[in-house]
Every structure is written in C-alpha cells, then in structure tokens.
C-alpha cells in the first residue's frame, strides 16, 4: 500500500514508518521538523517537509494518491496547550482538517488517527478506563485531539472517508525527545545520565499506563488493514490496563542508570490528571492487539538508547 505518515520525523511517527517499510509498504513522511528530526526519517521513505496547516501540505496529499494516512502530526505538549491554546487548536484541529479535506478529495481509503487516552477522558471515574467513559478533558490538548475524532466521524458519514482512532497511553522508547516538556521517561533518563536531578511535579503518586513504541507501531499496522471494513469508525484504547507511578518509574530508571541522585519535587500542575490507565480489551478482541514489551524491558531499551548517544 501507499501510506503517508504525518509527523513521521517524530518519536512515534518515525517508529511507525519504519515498521511499515519493513513490511514492504511504500511510505512517505510529512513533517515540518519543528519538533521532529530529519535523523529519524528512514532513508527508504519519501520526505515532504510541510506544515500540515498549509496549502502545500494539502496539495502533496492530493498529488500522491495515498491508500492510507497515518496521522501523527500534532502539537502534543499538554503544558504548551495550556499556555498557547490558539496554537494548539490551529495545529491539532486546523491542521487535521486540512489533511482530511485533502484525503477525501484524493480518495484516501482510511485515516488512522493518533488520539490520546491519557487526556481525552479527564480524571477517570473508574479504572481502567473503557472507550465508553465520559469525555471530560481538563487540558486544551485533550479537547483538540478529541475534536478531531468528531470530525472523522463526520467525514465518514458525509464523504465515506474511513478511519480508525487509536487512543494512546504514555508512549515511551527509542527516539523519545528528552529535551521537551513531554516524555517523562526520556526526560528522567537523560537527566540521570547527565548527572542532573529531574523534577517531579506533585507527590509522584500520579499513575500512568506506559506502552513501548514498538507495541504502538504494531497497533497502527493492525488498524490499517483495508481488508477489514469492519474496523472503519472504530475507536480503540491502547494500553496495559495497569499503571505505574512516577515514583516507581523514577526508581527503575535510577537503578538502570546506576545513580545515587534522587529527584526534586515541585508543586502539582492543575492540567495534569492524577491517575489513568486504559482498558484495551476492545483492541485485543477486535484488532487482535496485545502489548508485548514489559515496562522494565522497555525502560532498559530506552536507557541503553540514550546512553549510547551521549
């Protein structure tokens, strides 16, 4: 198949693009390199340097006759979304609409959309969270990502554009950017490897569901299966269904790095939920997806990746 991966120079998108190339697909990557890196782009992939909000991005989609768009390009920093809500909306909603308009005009068969299970639900009423849980995001990022889910529903009903939504947990692994505000596993890893203290916001008891990027890539491949029209319009949580606290994550990383440093603590952030983990039974039963890489194995992989790059 001919596949476009938007955000394919970023952490998750580049891992998805690599998996697709391994499977023999023809892959183009679209990225403006504002947060992604050209070093992440597989040389076997075509590269289109465009901001997804631009007419040039839409023209490129229309010109290349893609079967599938795997849509990962986004403003994905929760804290930035709170500081700059208009920017967050312009990228996540406006940019996505620009790509969707081009997709429906050019005959794309399915959009696989990277949404967020860690932000759309808000503070969960019960754990693990199922897909039918009320949608009550407490940050702008969660609102913008969920809004696109509604537009996908609309475009399927009006124009027949197929889609699958994958609601991600905290994704971690090689290529995760440790120099931003997102990606706690990578931030803590690089801090400790560099002999610095990381900062925990709040008491460290915040609970998150962590899935390795390799397992996320596998979910994307399953969602792209065009021989399964029954998947169209599906929304799937991707997670283990159990969580790890920030304190537990910190302890494992310190052990893997071999440091005696300990984190400092700061005030909790109001836009961050306290606890979330995602029930992925629907993904297991309907997509055939199950996570394979344990948290400890995945963190060792991440630490080794960054240690080798220092």
CA distance 231 to 209: 24
Average of per-residue pLDDT across 133-147 = 96
Q: What is the pLDDT of residues 143-174, one digit of tens each?
A: 999 999 999 999 999 999 999 999 999 999 99
Question: Is the pLDDT confidence value at 263 over 60?
Answer: yes
pLDDT at 271: 82
Backbone φ, ψ for residue 92 (5° rounding): -75, -35
Point out the catalytic residue in the list 141, 155, 163, 172: 141
Active site residue 141: yes
pLDDT-derived band of residue 79, with 50, 70 and 90 as boundaries?
confident
Mean pLDDT of 291-309: 93
Non-local CB neighbours of 100 within 8 Å, separated by 6+ positions? 111, 151, 152, 155, 161
pLDDT, averaged across the chain = 95
Structure tokens belonging to residue 218: 């596998």
* pLDDT, average across residues 249-253: 96
pLDDT range class, residue 183, cuts 50, 70, 90: confident
Per-residue pLDDT at 170: 94
Q: Which two tokens stand for residue 270?
A: 């109001």
Whether the predicted pLDDT of 181 surpasses 60: no
281/240 Cα distance (integer angstroms): 9
Does residue 180 surpass a pLDDT of 70? Answer: no
Task: Report whether 72 contacts 5 (CB < 8 A).
Answer: yes
The contacts of residue 282 (CB under 8 Å, 6+ apart) are 130, 131, 236, 237
At 83 the pLDDT is 95
| pLDDT at residue number 269 | 86
Q: Which of 173, 198, 185, 300 lies closest to 245 in space, CA to CA? A: 185
Return the pLDDT at 225.
97
Sorted by where each starts, the structural domains of the chain and their CATH numbers stand as 2-171+210-237 (3.40.50.720), 173-208+241-309 (3.90.25.10)
Record the pTM.
Answer: 0.95
Evaluate whether 167 touches 116 at the Cβ level (below 8 Å).
yes
Quick one: pLDDT at residue 237? 98
- Structure tokens given for 271: 């836009």
């Amino acid at each position: 198949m001919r596949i476009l991966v938007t955000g394919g120079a970023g952490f998750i998108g580049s891992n998805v693009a690599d998996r697709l190339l391994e499977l023999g697909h023809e892959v183009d990557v679209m990225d403006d390199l504002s947060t992604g890196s050209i070093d992440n782009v597989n040389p076997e992939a075509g590269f289109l340097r465009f901001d997804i909000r631009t007419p040039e991005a839409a023209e490129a989609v229309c010109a290349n006759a893609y079967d599938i768009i795997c849509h990962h390009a986004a403003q994905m920093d929760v804290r930035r979304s709170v500081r700059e809500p208009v920017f967050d909306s312009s990228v996540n909603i406006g940019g996505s609409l620009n790509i969707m308009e081009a997709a429906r005009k050019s005959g794309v068969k399915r959009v696989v959309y990277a949404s967020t299970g860690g932000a759309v639900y808000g503070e969960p009423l019960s754990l693990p969270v199922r897909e039918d849980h009320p949608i009550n995001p407490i940050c702008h990022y969660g609102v913008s990502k969920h809004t696109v889910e509604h537009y996908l529903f609309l475009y399927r009903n009006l124009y027949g554009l197929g889609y699958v939504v994958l609601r991600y947990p905290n994704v971690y692994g090689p290529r995760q950017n440790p120099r931003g505000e997102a990606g706690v596993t990578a931030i803590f890893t690089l801090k400790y490897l560099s002999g610095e203290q990381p900062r925990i916001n709040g008491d460290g008891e915040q609970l998150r569901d962590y899935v390795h990027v390799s397992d996320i890539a596998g979910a994307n491949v399953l969602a792209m299966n065009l021989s399964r029209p029954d998947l169209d319009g599906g929304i799937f949580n991707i997670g283990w269904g159990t969580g790890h606290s920030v304190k537990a994550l910190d302890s494992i990383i310190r052990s893997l790095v071999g440091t005696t440093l300990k984190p400092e603590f700061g005030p909790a952030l109001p836009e961050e939920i306290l606890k979330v983990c995602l029930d992925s039974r629907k993904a297991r039963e309907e997509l055939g997806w199950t996570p394979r890489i344990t948290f400890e194995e995945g963190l060792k992989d991440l630490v080794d990746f960054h240690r080798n790059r220092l």
